[in-house]
Structure 1
Amino acid sequence: MQEVPQSASAIPLRQIRAVFDDATIRVYQAYSNVIADAALAAGTFVSPPFKMERMTWIKPSFLWMMYRAGWGFKDEGQQRILAIDISREGFEWALANGCLTHAEGEGGAAPPKDRFPVRIQWDPERDLHLDKLPYRSIQIGLGKEAVNLYVTQWIRGITDVTPLAHEIHALVEAGKLDEASVRLPVERVY
């Protein structure tokens, strides 16, 4: 299994990088305390408070999740960072049943989104300062059909990584980037 190259110029524009093994891949989401506590207690998302009818976005990139949630400090609705281990079969089903949220290339038109249960979006990856990098990370939006599969079949485990996020953030704020880097989850090319 290949490790992510150190040089940003050697990294393709679009590449899935994640923590994974033979059976699972890790994705991240940020939620309020009430949703996170219920999910951690049940080992999956519980409705209510989790809304099964809403699109939910999963992100394999830890640093992109930190950007989106502001290290868990952005707002009350994103104060808990969860690492969700899902089946690789489920993840690959999501990829196979998704459409891009935006058209690719010049003159390209995105397919009609209502025909697909999953949305795929490629956004700039982030560094420890949450600044944009020259390559992209995948975000996967699960619509109603996919959310049901995610919650009832794909999830293998949920871990609260908020303390890790806060620890890394504190090291970044203190200028201890080497220490912060070694605490990051090791994401490999998927």
Structure 2
Amino acid sequence: MEEPHHRIRARHTASTITVYQAYSPEIGLPAIRDGRFPAAWKRDRMTWIKPSFLWMMYRCGWGSKEGQETVLAVEITRDGFDWALRHACLSGYARGVHPDRATWQRQLKRSPARVQWDPERDLHLRPVPYRSLQLGLSGEAARRYADEWTVGIRDVTPLAHEIHALVSGGDLGSAARLLPQERPYPVAAELLDHLRPGEQAGRPAVG
């Protein structure tokens, strides 16, 4: 069965969803220790969360990039995640979703969350034909994420390094078995209808 072009795939339970971020040790280690983001985590800046582990690995270079050495698995409430989707706007203008560019710009300016669809990655961090969601949070959404929605933070840096070592050694089977199990995330259609570029009015999905 062909994978839908735009779908949220994530590790989730009945009440939570896991997203990934990477930070410097100055932010990441206190967050791991306390299970919440420290005061130094800037709540007035936009932060991007990724339900895809492999997309996070692509972004942070398996935890090797400067300022992204500590990889976090952040468990947040599904209620919070769904709230962000409900109040989100696409990060780019899309015909068929927005009446015109001016309308999109107004929506983007007032939305506390924005959605970007980026190519999902394989174990070699190469792009695959379908996309994964990135969710940008600012203002009210960023504050809620840090102080209300987050229910746990785990250090997955060792896991990132272990999987990378297996991939580098050519043992893709063992690497794949260690990946977090990401399943289609059950979300009401109305939460995503305004966030799927190219899928309105029966048009095929586009990049």
TM-score under structure 2 length normalisation: 0.84
User: Is 2:42 the partner of 1:42?
Assistant: no
- Aligned positions of 1:1-190 closer than 5 A: 10-48=2-40, 50-75=41-66, 77-105=67-95, 109=101, 110-112=104-106, 113-190=108-185
Q: Render the CA deviation track for 1:33-73: whole Å, top value 9, x for unaligned.
A: 0101111222111121x111110000000000000000001
How many residues of Structure 1 are paired with residues of Structure 2 in the alignment?
Answer: 180
Q: Secondary structure at the match of 2:147?
A: helix
Q: Which amino acid aligns with 2:3?
A: I
**Alpha-carbon distance between aligned partners in 2 of 1:108 and 1:164, rounded to the nearest angstrom:** 44
Deviation at 1:27, TM superposition (A): 0.1
Structure 2 gaps, min length 5: 186-207
**Alpha-carbon distance between aligned partners in 2 of 1:108 and 1:136, rounded to the nearest angstrom:** 24
Asked if structure 1 preserves the Cα contact closer than 8 Å seen for 2:120 and 2:131, the reply is yes
Q: Which amino acid aligns with 2:110?
A: R
* Identity percentage of aligned residues: 53
**Alpha-carbon distance between aligned partners in 1 of 2:133 and 2:172, rounded to the nearest angstrom:** 24
Query: What is the alpha-carbon root mean square deviation over aligned residues?
Result: 1.3
**Alpha-carbon distance between aligned partners in 2 of 1:59 and 1:31, rounded to the nearest angstrom:** 13
Asked if structure 2 preserves the Cα contact closer than 8 Å seen for 1:99 and 1:111, the reply is no
**Alpha-carbon distance between aligned partners in 2 of 1:93 and 1:173, rounded to the nearest angstrom:** 39
Would the alpha carbon gap of residues 177 and 108 (structure 1) be closer, same or farther in structure 2, given more than 3 Å must change? farther
**Alpha-carbon distance between aligned partners in 1 of 2:70 and 2:155, rounded to the nearest angstrom:** 7
Deviates most, 58-67 or 96-105: 96-105
**Alpha-carbon distance between aligned partners in 1 of 2:156 and 2:95, rounded to the nearest angstrom:** 37
**Alpha-carbon distance between aligned partners in 2 of 1:181 and 1:150, rounded to the nearest angstrom:** 30
Q: Render the CA deviation track for 1:138-184: whole Å, top value 9, x for unaligned.
A: 00000021111011110010000000000000000001101100000
